[in-house]
Amino acid sequence: MGRTYFVEEAIGQYLLDLGSTVNPYVTGLLIGQCSQQRDYIIRAVRTPPKEEQKENAVSPSKLLSVDEEWITTHASQVSRMLPGGLLVLGVFIIATPELSKESQNALRKLIFSVEKSLTKRRLWKPTEEEVSDRAALQMCSATKKVVCRTYDVQDPKSSAKPADWKYQSALAASWLALGCTVNVNIHIPLLATSPNHDLERNTRNGLNRWSKQIEDSVFLINGQVRDDNTELLEGQKKLRGNTQSSTQFSDVKVLTQLSQGLSHRSTATVQVCSGSINLRGAVECRAYLHNNKPRVKEAVQALKRDIINTLSDRCEILFEDLIINEGPHKKNFEKEYHVLPQRLFVPVAGSNVMLTDYKFGDEAAEEIQERFIEMLDQPVQAEDIHIAEEINTVAIHPVTDKMDDTQQKQLTKAMLLLKLQQNMGVVIAAAVAVFASIFSFNYFSD
């Protein structure tokens, strides 16, 4: 038995409007949420045309010319704009009858390319019970017939399976929201063994270690620790209605564990470092789940992934901005202080779900509005842009080649202390803190 996709009714009209264009074909992404029981599609977003297509106002006439890299790049950009719980769940093609035979092969190729691109960026791994099917939607621009199939993206040899595509009114208004604020203070040492320091790679490695702490954290939902397999709304009165004012919102607190328990022995290593990166601030995180008996486990997982994604994404955005402004060949670095882009939220029309984006301090509302049009094909009013955070920062702090006498004594003391305390379990953490402070005190002393 194939999967069933419950689709927001407005998407049907959106696809029909796209199919009425003069182009031989149109491609795009399907956005929604999947679970073991049901799959939901709440947005369809056409691939933005490239500059040359805008000038000529015509797409290439053969599907062999589909720009795979352009579509996967669009998918990566869109995935940054999705809160926890929402994913790029598939790809669609609307084509003329002459191209219908080519469409399915093109869809299959795009499904796997998009998933590969998105997986590469993630700092989390899917669970064993997670749904790995992705939708491939084909629509004939002449007959308006829709054919939906799925592919298992975990299996490169996967063949197409039939799937049901069912429209449902007010689907986008039936979502539960969770939110939390997470304080971040991540210290990432830069090893001196590498002559040229790849800041982006080091930052990603540091975030990867931090993401494991988030995975192991305890989540309090409305002040309580809940059993994973209980329903999220158990003991709560369901709100009725399809307006945004009826949103069922859960406030979540994140408790990061200081250690992995007494069964795990603490260890520490001394590494010669040439500097450090510090990520500091408070990030605003949100996740959405469809109101169909979601479990606590699903809610916590969606929020964890949003926490990890939002910090990883904005670091990527910062480095992309640095490359644009300073060039891709800058390897060595000096003391630098950067402001991470702030997170903002924008409501989806007719829905209680909010999409997200990031802005630097000097970006105007018009630039954000243009980005929503280009990436999500959604007009946004300036008054609907809600900036959710204060400023978060990245500090890159190098260490000079020669230490002064005080620093040398501190380092020697730290190394001796580490050797003396190698078998003392948790106490060893004090020495690590002393060692880390050598590289951050001068810069952050003010």
Amino acid at position 384, single letter: D
Amino acid at position 57, single letter: A
Instruction: State the DSSP code for 273.
Output: E
Q: In the numeric block, which tokens belong to residue 423?
A: 């078998």
Q: How far apart are the first and last CA of the chain?
A: 64
- Please report where in the chains the tokens 């020495």 appear, as a residue: 431
The predicted pLDDT at position 66 comes to: 83
List of residues 6+ apart from 17 with CB closer than 8 A: none
Q: What is the pLDDT of residues 16-54, one digit of tens each?
A: 999 888 678 899 999 999 988 789 999 999 999 887 665
The predicted pLDDT at position 359 comes to: 93
Amino acid at position 255, single letter: L
Domain ranges, ordered by start, for the chain: 4-169, 175-265+276-334+344-385, 405-444
| CA dist 157 → 72, 76, 130, 151, 423 (Å) | 20, 24, 19, 9, 50
Amino acid at position 429, single letter: A
- How many C-alpha atoms does 11 have within 13 Å on its Cβ side? 30
Q: What is the CATH number of domain 4-169?
A: 3.40.140.10
Q: In the numeric block, which tokens belong to residue 29?
A: 């992404």
* Whether the model pTM is above 0.85: no
List of residues 6+ apart from 325 with CB closer than 8 A: none
Q: Which helix (H) or strand (E) holds 394?
A: strand 392-398
Amino acid at position 168, single letter: Q
Assess contact for 103 and 39: CB atoms under 8 A. no
- Quick one: how far is CA 436 from the chain centroid? 29
Assess contact for 348 and 379: CB atoms under 8 A. no
User: Within 10 Å of residue 123's Cβ, how many Cβ atoms?
Assistant: 18
Show the low-confidence residues of the chain (pLDDT under 50).
195, 239, 241-245, 259-263, 331-332, 401-403, 408, 411-412, 414-446
